[in-house]
């Protein structure tokens, strides 16, 4: 495919920004359900929650026919917003493909999944609104989450990787690193001492913590309303 990641992201940013402007969404939070149903005309369907198998896992649900958005009664508000944003991403996929020179209908599964994931987060945390919020909230994830309350705290944190400032974002579940990504350099799952200090203090006190050790400064925040102890970390090297 003859386009760069930057060109793809720029195309998505423009299409999402124009769509939200036409929908009259000027400030966050973005209500993706309202945009999908009332502006884009995507049908919303309520379906029964998926059944559990013998091990307690949800059985795979048959794919929803048509281009609508299927919601279940057991979804959280964040999950409903994510489902709606993904429905918007599916609707925009042909136009995004056209913008980067991919004939609609010829996209492979990896391209479709990549575009949907890029589009989904930009619907709930749009670039222009994020830049405006950063002027007041800086990179404080809970403060940004209050602004973009229809997105999950994890999604808001991950959007910081799209900024120019180098940083590492990690998610730690019950003391175990679930993910750790950097935006300007490779990042393994091994925490820097400053990050580990944040994990230890947040686990102990269930309060945000900042630590500066060696050549890194890290911030840690507890994530509420999860069935386990989840902590989000943001770390930046001091030499940048």
Q: With bands split at pLDDT 50, 70 and 90, how would you rate the model's confidence at 239?
A: confident
The pLDDT of residue 67: 72
pLDDT surpasses 90 at 104: no
What span, in angstroms and rounded, lies between the C-alpha atoms of 231 and 33?
Answer: 28
In a domain, residue 197? The reply is yes
In a domain, residue 157? The reply is no
Look up the pTM and report it. Answer: 0.90
- What percent of the chain is modeled with pLDDT above 70? 92
Residue 13, H or E segment: helix 5-22
The pLDDT of residue 51: 67
Residue 234, H or E segment: strand 230-237
Q: With bands split at pLDDT 50, 70 and 90, how would you rate the model's confidence at 57?
A: low
Mean local confidence (pLDDT), 97-103:
91
Q: Do 140 and 199 touch, CB atoms closer than 8 A?
A: no
The residue out of 129, 145, 175 marking a domain boundary is 129
Structural domains of the chain, count? 2
What span, in angstroms and rounded, lies between the C-alpha atoms of 216 and 200?
Answer: 16
The pLDDT of residue 103: 86
pLDDT surpasses 90 at 162: yes
Both 120 and 206 in one domain: the answer is no
The pLDDT of residue 53: 55
The pLDDT of residue 52: 62
CATH of the domain at 51: 1.10.10
pLDDT surpasses 90 at 87: yes
Lowest mean per-residue pLDDT among 91-105, 143-157, 190-204: 91-105
Cβ contacts of 77 within 8 Å, gap of 6 or more: 150
Residue 216, H or E segment: strand 216-223
Mean local confidence (pLDDT), 131-154:
98
Report helix, strand or coil for 112.
Answer: helix
Both 113 and 67 in one domain: the answer is yes
In a domain, residue 143? The reply is no
The pLDDT of residue 43: 96
In a domain, residue 149? The reply is no
- Range of the structural domain that residue 47 is part of: 5-129
In a domain, residue 75? The reply is yes
Mean local confidence (pLDDT), 138-154:
98
216-223 and 209-213 beta bridge pairing? antiparallel
Cβ contacts of 211 within 8 Å, gap of 6 or more: 194, 195, 197, 198, 201, 217, 218, 220
Both 48 and 117 in one domain: the answer is yes
Cβ contacts of 5 within 8 Å, gap of 6 or more: none
Q: Do 68 and 43 touch, CB atoms closer than 8 A?
A: yes
Mean local confidence (pLDDT), 96-101:
93
Q: With bands split at pLDDT 50, 70 and 90, how would you rate the model's confidence at 49?
A: confident
In a domain, residue 137? The reply is no
Both 119 and 216 in one domain: the answer is no
Which DSSP state fits 52? B
Cβ contacts of 41 within 8 Å, gap of 6 or more: none
Mean local confidence (pLDDT), 187-208:
98
Alpha helices in 35-174 (DSSP H): 77-99, 109-124, 127-137, 141-147, 153-159
Q: Do 32 and 9 touch, CB atoms closer than 8 A?
A: no
Both 69 and 178 in one domain: the answer is no
């Amino acid at each position: 495919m003859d386009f760069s990641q930057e060109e793809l992201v720029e195309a998505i940013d423009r299409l999402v920004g124009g769509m939200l402007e036409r929908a009259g969404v000027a400030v966050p939070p973005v209500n993706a359900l309202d945009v999908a149903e009332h502006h884009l005309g995507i049908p919303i369907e309520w379906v029964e929650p998926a059944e559990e198998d013998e091990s307690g896992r949800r059985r795979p649900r048959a794919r929803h026919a048509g281009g609508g958005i299927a919601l279940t009664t057991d979804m959280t508000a964040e999950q409903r917003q994510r489902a709606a944003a993904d429905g918007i991403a599916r609707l925009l996929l042909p136009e995004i493909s056209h913008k980067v020179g991919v004939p609609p209908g010829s996209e492979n599964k990896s391209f479709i999944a990549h575009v949907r994931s890029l589009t989904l987060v930009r619907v709930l945390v749009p670039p222009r609104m994020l830049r405006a919020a950063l002027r007041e909230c800086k990179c404080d994830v809970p403060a940004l989450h209050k602004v973009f309350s229809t997105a999950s705290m994890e999604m808001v944190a991950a959007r910081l990787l799209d900024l120019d400032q180098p940083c590492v974002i990690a998610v730690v579940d019950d003391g175990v690193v679930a993910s750790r990504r950097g935006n300007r350099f490779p990042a393994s799952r091994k925490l820097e001492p400053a990050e580990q200090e944040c994990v230890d203090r947040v686990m102990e006190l269930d309060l945000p913590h900042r630590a500066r050790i060696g050549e890194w400064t890290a911030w840690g925040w507890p994530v509420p309303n999860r069935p386990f102890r989840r902590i989000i970390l943001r770390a930046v090297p001091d030499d940048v």
